[in-house]
């Protein structure tokens, strides 16, 4: 039997999308198998939308290497793919004596991680940079290159580039088993068999289960870590220019307060270990805690309106570092991409690409230009021929909506449509446009969730 593909990638999260792009550009015939109705529907759907420098990653870790390589590649490709990059910088803030005492060690770690432009700041300097901060803070340091990006247009762009250059995507396609005959894999899926020379397991919260199913063994065990977030309305974004980070702990980067590139302000995530891999439920008491935490950092936040709440599961395991390894059975596992997946995705993809080796790199691959939704850039509602506004809160035009419903990566679910356009994501949460959006999707047959 002829193999259909050089590589089958299991999982279309941000990591799977980036790997699909890398392997396609390296000349491989790639298929991406996603069990969700649409892509980015697992761990990738909830993160803090930051492009990290790796200043606080463990020295010498694979995570650090991937974050930094990913950062460099994003910087190099964002302009041609029309992806936003807001170089706002981050402030790491100490609120107690104990936290203040840890700042020099964190700065030393940043230096060791080759993030050399960090600077220790007095309380007064921090307050000059961010006058809305609670004056109770003690000190801080600035990491100038920490940046904001669009957590959805980036992975959409990665996968779209793969698709434009010959890769295939199958959605609602769950891998149910597979066998390796010594030279190729035959995967059984909910859409029939798929044969491929190699399998890449990028299954996120299911990474260990896929390993067990296909290899009969796994080197790690995923225990999802839940993160809950609050998102505030546009007026709150004026309260802070920088990404506001706490002094991290061993387990988590802690609760972040930062703008989004869409001009909102988010507070989160929590770090709550759980066994459930499916459901990330929100809890009112935790959300109230985040609300209070946010107002402790930025007192003016107390009067701001909450636009949305969300929770996600990040694939944590018993090890701190990423679990990326090549198996004898022509399979690569990319597991436990715990919290820096968005920053590291392109670096992880490059790492995987080197493990496989480029066969016939494409000489002049097609490059997609993504829809720009960043608030400070010119948006479609400012331009002629936009066909009117569909979503007033996020100012999404009908022309943008229609464009999002076409092409090889058109959405297959309401949530997928929202991720591509931001329609119904704003302060009214669909009060005005909810029914119109559903009507548009029904007409396009785009809601298969």
Partner 1 sequence: MADVDVIIVGAGPAGLSAATELKRLGVARVLVLDREAAAGGIPRHCLHSPYGMREWHRVMFGPAYARRLTDEAQAAGAEIRCRTTVTALRPGGKVEVSTPDGLQVLQGRAVLLATGARETSRAARLVGGTKPGGVMNTATLQGFAAFADHLPFRRPVIVGTELVSFSAMITCLTHGARPVAMIDAGPGPTARAIMTLAPRMLGIPLRFGTKIAAIHGRSRVDGITVEAPEGPQDIACDGVVFTGGFRPENALLRTSALQVDPGSLGPSIDQYGRLSDPAYFAAGNVLHAIETAGWCWDEGRKVARTIDAALHGALPPRAEVGIRTEGAAIKYALPQVISPVGETPPAFDRMQLRLTRPYSGDVGIGGTSHRIDSRPERRILLPLPLSGQGA
Identify which of residues 101 and 383 has a Cβ nearer to partner 1 in the complex.
383
Using DSSP's 3-state secondary structure scheme, residue 77 falls into: helix
Q: Which stretch binds partner 1 (CB under 8 A): 16-24, 145-153, 299-307, 328-336?
A: 299-307
- What does DSSP assign to residue 274? -
> Cα Rg for the chain, rounded, in angstroms?
22
Identify which of residues 330 and 438 has a Cβ nearer to partner 1 in the complex.
438
Determine contact, residues 207/15, Cβ cutoff 8 Å.
no
Identify which of residues 95 and 310 has a Cβ nearer to partner 1 in the complex.
310
Q: Which stretch binds partner 1 (CB under 8 A): 8-16, 58-66, 300-308, 342-350?
A: 300-308
Residue pointed to by tokens 């050399």? 116
- Strands 243-246 and 90-94, how do they pair? parallel
Angle, nearest 10°, between helix axes 14-25 and 341-356?
A: 40
Q: Does 431 bind partner 1 (CB under 8 A)?
A: yes
Distance CA 46, CA 440 (A): 25
For the bound state, the minimum distance from the C-beta of residue 191 to partner 1, rounded and expressed in Å, comes to 19
Burial of 269 by CB count in 10 Å (0-12 exposed, 13-18 middle, 19+ buried)? Answer: buried
Identify which of residues 58 and 449 has a Cβ nearer to partner 1 in the complex.
449
Q: How far is CA 247 from the centre of its chain?
A: 22
Q: Does 357 bind partner 1 (CB under 8 A)?
A: no
Q: Does 305 bind partner 1 (CB under 8 A)?
A: yes
For the bound state, the minimum distance from the C-beta of residue 386 to partner 1, rounded and expressed in Å, comes to 6
Instruction: Residue count of the chain, please give it.
Output: 449
Q: How many amino acids of this chain bind partner 1 (CB under 8 A)?
A: 47
DSSP 135-177: TT--EEEEETT-EE--TTHHHHHHHHHHHHTT-EEESS--EEE
- The CB density around residue 219, as the number of other CB atoms within 10 Å, is 15
Distance CA 52, CA 48 (A): 10
State which of residues 131, 176, 435, 445 lies at the interface with partner 1 (CB under 8 A).
435
Retrieve residue 336's tokens.
């436990």
Retrieve residue 421's tokens.
């356009």
For the bound state, the minimum distance from the C-beta of residue 309 to partner 1, rounded and expressed in Å, comes to 5
State which of residues 281, 292, 359, 408 lies at the interface with partner 1 (CB under 8 A).
281
Nearest to 141 by CA among 87, 91, 96: 91
For the bound state, the minimum distance from the C-beta of residue 210 to partner 1, rounded and expressed in Å, comes to 21
Dihedral-angle region of residue 415 (phi above 0 means left; psi in -120 to 50 means alpha; beta otherwise): alpha
Q: Does 26 bind partner 1 (CB under 8 A)?
A: no
Q: Which stretch binds partner 1 (CB under 8 A): 86-94, 156-164, 327-335, 381-389?
A: 381-389
Q: Does 274 bind partner 1 (CB under 8 A)?
A: no
User: If residue 434 lies in a helix (H) or strand (E), which one and from where to where?
Assistant: helix 434-444
For the bound state, the minimum distance from the C-beta of residue 267 to partner 1, rounded and expressed in Å, comes to 12
Q: Considering only residues 216 through 255, tell me which ones interact with partner 1, judged by CB under 8 A.
A: 231, 233-235
Count CA atoms within 13 Å of residue 128 on its CB side: 7
Q: Considering only residues 385 through 404, tell me which ones interact with partner 1, judged by CB under 8 A.
A: 385-389, 392-393, 395
Q: Does 384 bind partner 1 (CB under 8 A)?
A: yes
State which of residues 283, 292, 319, 445 lies at the interface with partner 1 (CB under 8 A).
283
Determine contact, residues 17/45, Cβ cutoff 8 Å.
no
For the bound state, the minimum distance from the C-beta of residue 403 to partner 1, rounded and expressed in Å, comes to 15
For the bound state, the minimum distance from the C-beta of residue 293 to partner 1, rounded and expressed in Å, comes to 14
Q: Which stretch binds partner 1 (CB under 8 A): 8-16, 173-181, 239-247, 421-429?
A: 421-429
The residue ranges that bind partner 1 (CB under 8 A) are: 231, 233-235, 278-284, 286-288, 291, 303, 305-310, 381-389, 392-393, 395, 414, 427-432, 434-436, 438-439, 449
């Amino acid at each position: 039997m002829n193999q259909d593909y050089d590589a089958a990638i299991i999982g279309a999260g941000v990591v799977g999308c980036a790997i699909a792009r890398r392997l396609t550009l390296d000349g491989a015939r790639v298929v991406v198998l996603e069990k969700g109705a649409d892509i980015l529907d697992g761990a990738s759907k909830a993160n803090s939308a930051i492009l990290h420098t790796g200043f606080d990653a463990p020295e010498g870790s694979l995570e650090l290497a991937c974050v930094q390589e990913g950062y460099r590649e994003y910087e190099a490709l964002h302009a041609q793919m029309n992806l936003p990059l807001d170089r706002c910088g981050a402030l790491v803030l100490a609120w107690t004596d104990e936290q203040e005492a840890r700042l020099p060690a964190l700065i030393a770690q940043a230096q060791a991680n080759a993030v050399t432009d960090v600077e220790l700041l007095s309380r007064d300097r921090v307050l000059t940079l961010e006058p809305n901060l609670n004056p109770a803070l003690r000190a801080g340091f600035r990491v100038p290159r920490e940046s904001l990006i669009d957590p959805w247009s980036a992975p959409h762009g990665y996968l779209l580039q793969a698709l434009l250059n010959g890769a295939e995507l199958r959605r609602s396609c769950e891998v149910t088993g597979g066998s390796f005959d010594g030279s190729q894999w035959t995967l059984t899926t909910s859409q029939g068999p798929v044969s491929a020379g190699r399998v890449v397991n990028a299954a996120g919260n299911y990474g260990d289960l896929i390993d067990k199913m296909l290899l009969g063994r796994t080197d790690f065990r995923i225990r999802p870590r839940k993160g809950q977030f609050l998102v505030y309305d546009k007026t709150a974004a004026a309260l802070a220019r920088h990404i506001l980070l706490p002094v991290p702990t061993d387990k988590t980067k802690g609760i972040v307060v930062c703008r989004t590139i869409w001009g909102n302000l988010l507070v989160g995530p929590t770090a709550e270990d759980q066994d459930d891999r499916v459901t990330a439920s929100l809890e009112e008491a935790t959300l109230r805690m985040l609300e209070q935490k946010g107002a402790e950092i930025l007192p003016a936040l107390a009067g701001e309106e909450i636009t949305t709440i969300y929770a996600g599961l990040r694939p944590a395991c018993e090890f701190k570092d990423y679990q990326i390894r090549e198996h004898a059975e022509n399979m690569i596992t990319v597991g436990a991409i715990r919290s820096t997946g968005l920053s590291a995705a392109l670096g992880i993809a490059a790492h995987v690409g080197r493990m496989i080796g480029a066969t016939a790199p494409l000489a002049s691959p097609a490059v997609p230009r993504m829809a720009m939704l960043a608030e400070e850039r010119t948006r479609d509602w400012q331009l002629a021929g936009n066909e009117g506004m569909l979503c007033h809160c996020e100012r999404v035009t009908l022309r943008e909506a229609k464009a999002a419903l076409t092409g090889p990566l058109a959405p297959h679910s309401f949530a997928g449509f929202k991720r591509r356009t931001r329609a119904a994501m704003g302060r009214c949460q669909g009060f005005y446009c909810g029914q119109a959006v559903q009507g548009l999707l029904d007409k396009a047959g785009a809601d298969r969730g």
